[in-house]
Structure 1
Amino acid sequence: MTRKRVDSGSWFSGLAFLIVFGVLAGFAGYAGHVSALDPPAELEADGIIVLTGGEGRLQRAVALLEDGAGRRLLVSGVNPAVTANELRNSADIDADLFSCCIDLGREATDTVGNAREALEWADTHGFDRIIIVTSDYHIPRSILELRALMPERTLIAFPVASPRPWENATAARRWVLEYLKFAAVFLRELARGAFAGAPE
């Protein structure tokens, strides 16, 4: 009886070690990949989508629109309590540019919602090539969610630099939580692909 308990304890300890090691190794790979992301040197697309929620995202997306990288910009996930004028003033956006070429999506409350807004907007305007602007740590998951709904479209990731996880505790927490969310979405899409390819 004692030996069985010892064997069981060793087995669970070994399993726990493997899980922790796998998570740490996965996060190290994720952090290394994200930290090496650079904005594309040349950008040309039908439209631009910025996912709200991170510092500098909207300003970067507006600059791309001003430079002619896309014809229209969707700001996805705008707080319903924020007025159009408040949003325009917060990013110092030219009034004419704002009225002609910027659309506000107010339904999305998470990345899945962003993907749904993006799909509806892209369908409405017939856009096939789209630049996605969001924080660098959010790029892997956002692209996965968007591709899940828009597999036939070309999505160009434009990462906005953010503090690295080794710079402060807030950044470390943000990156770890985002990695766990990314891993869950990655496994979900992997399972979908496996089931889709399974014989009926």
Structure 2
Amino acid sequence: MTQGIGIFRALAFVILAASLIGFAAYAGLVSSYALPDEDLSADGIVVLTGDQGRLTAGARLLQDGRSAHLLISGVHASVTTEQLRAHTTLSNEQFTCCVELGRQASDTVGNARETAQWVRTNGYRRLIIVTSDYHLPRSLIEMDMAMPDVEFIAYPVRTTPPWRNPRSARLWLQEYAKYATVRLGRILLPSQDTAS
């Protein structure tokens, strides 16, 4: 009985240590994403809906001429086009000519599939992916799995680090668990999609 408890404790310690090391590596990866150079351009900009700041960042990239095409992926059915336009601060003309709304995606896997369809329709080869910094690692994996021949440029929307805010810590830990699952799935099943 005592030996069994000792083995269980040792196993629990190994799992905890591995999780802490993994999270530290994940946090380092998130922190390593830098904003692209000012002269960088792409065929399209993709904004993944979610945290505040993503739409503003995507609209700014469009206004700065980084691309003439913007996809907002994962738009909820209850959100109107006018509500979205107001959040982007784009003019009616800019929004009408250059922004496409994707309403099919409900998770990160769906974002990747929705983006892949947009890419196939338009023949794009280089995309700027705009999402929260902590969401970028998993988003880029899913995008690469859906579109292995497309180049992705990470554009991080900065969030509060987990060591400064308990709410951020919860978000980052939840996202790390999803990221670790997707990453492990890609290692074990590289030719298959992993669930979000």
Interval containing the TM-score (normalised by the shorter chain): over 0.9
1:96 aligns with 2:88: no
| Residue segments in structure 2 that go unaligned for 5+ positions in a row | none
Percent identity, aligned pairs only, is 47
Matched pairs, number: 191
Q: Secondary structure at the match of 2:51?
A: coil
Match in the other structure for 1:57: 54
For residues 194 and 95 of structure 1, what CA distance do their matches in structure 2 show? 42
1:20 aligns with 2:16: yes
Match in the other structure for 1:187: 184
- TM score, norm. by length of structure 1: 0.92
1:77 alignment partner, one of 71, 74, 98: 74
Over residues 37-93 of structure 1, what are the superposed CA-to-partner deviations in whole Å (9 max), with x where a residue is unaligned?
211114211001000001100110111111111120000011111110111012221
For residues 40 and 89 of structure 1, what CA distance do their matches in structure 2 show? 25
1:68-147 residue pairs with structure 2 within 5 A?
68-147=65-144
- Preserved contact between residue 42 and residue 128 of structure 2 (Cα < 8 Å): yes
* 1:32 partner letter: G
Over residues 116-164 of structure 1, what are the superposed CA-to-partner deviations in whole Å (9 max), with x where a residue is unaligned?
1000001111101011000000000000011111011101111110111
- TM score, norm. by length of structure 2: 0.94
- Preserved contact between residue 55 and residue 87 of structure 2 (Cα < 8 Å): no
For residues 111 and 150 of structure 1, what CA distance do their matches in structure 2 show? 14
For residues 146 and 114 of structure 2, what CA distance do their matches in structure 1 show? 10
| CA 1:194–1:10: 2 relative to 1, 3 Å | farther
Q: Which runs of 4+ in 1 moved over 2 A?
A: none
* 2:4 partner letter: S
1:38 alignment partner, one of 5, 26, 34: 34
Cα RMSD, aligned residues only: 1.3
